[in-house]
Amino acid sequence: MQCVGCSVARYCDVDCQRKNWKIHQHLCRIQQRSLAGLDVARQTEAKAFAAFYERWGAHLCDLALERMEDGAESLQTHCLVVRLHWKPAEPDSAGETAGRYAIHSAQMRRDTDALDEDLEELAEIRPQIEQQLRALPVAPNVVRVMPLARTHCVCFHSEPLQDVSPGERRGRQADARE
């Protein structure tokens, strides 16, 4: 289920959306305004970000476990920062162009470093992103993820995990790469 306003935030159900609204509403409004002011190409990028998030969000949690070096305790101080790169596409037969986001880099980063260094280019929405990240549950069995694109960033977390062994690959991640 996605936010109707910004088309970026995703929720498991209406109850989760209601619980997060106080945190999300300001960012949602900013994203709506920024989307309205974008040309068609940038609107396409924003929609592609939402599609990337929808398709790969859960798999990014698995990637975080693969990148975890200091044991499960590091999940309490680090998040996975995923830098996305926009890949434009050639126009199709109808003259429409579509592009997609691809992962440029993914790195487990200390929360403070992620907020101070990785959000420089998103200065306008940095306070809301920081609030989103700080509102996520902090536990040794919860993965927190921050995908960054040129105009978008949405923080999210995994459900509590049973096995958070460093380097442990989940079946769905392996399937997604095939």
pLDDT digits (tens, 9 = 90+) for 105-143: 889 999 988 888 887 777 877 888 888 888 888 988 888
Residue 80 has pLDDT above 80, yes or no: yes
**Of all residues in the chain, what percent carry a pLDDT higher than 70?**
80
Residue 9 has pLDDT above 60, yes or no: yes
Provide mean pLDDT across the span 47-61.
78
How far, in Å, are 3, 38, 123 from residue 150 at the CA level?
A: 20, 13, 11
The answer to pTM > 0.75 is no
Provide mean pLDDT across the span 60-69.
82
How far, in Å, are 30, 105, 175 from residue 149 at the CA level?
A: 15, 11, 25
Residue 151 has pLDDT above 80, yes or no: no
Residue 144 has pLDDT above 50, yes or no: yes
More confident residue, 176 or 87: 87
Residue 14 has pLDDT above 50, yes or no: yes
In sequence order, which ranges of the chain are alpha helices (DSSP H)?
A: 14-36, 40-67, 111-113, 126-135, 171-177
Are the C-beta atoms of residues 43 and 8 closer than 8 Å to each other?
Answer: no
pLDDT score, position 168: 46
Confidence of residue 94 (pLDDT cuts 50, 70, 90): low
Phi-psi region of 65 (alpha: psi -120 to 50; beta: other; left: phi over 0): alpha
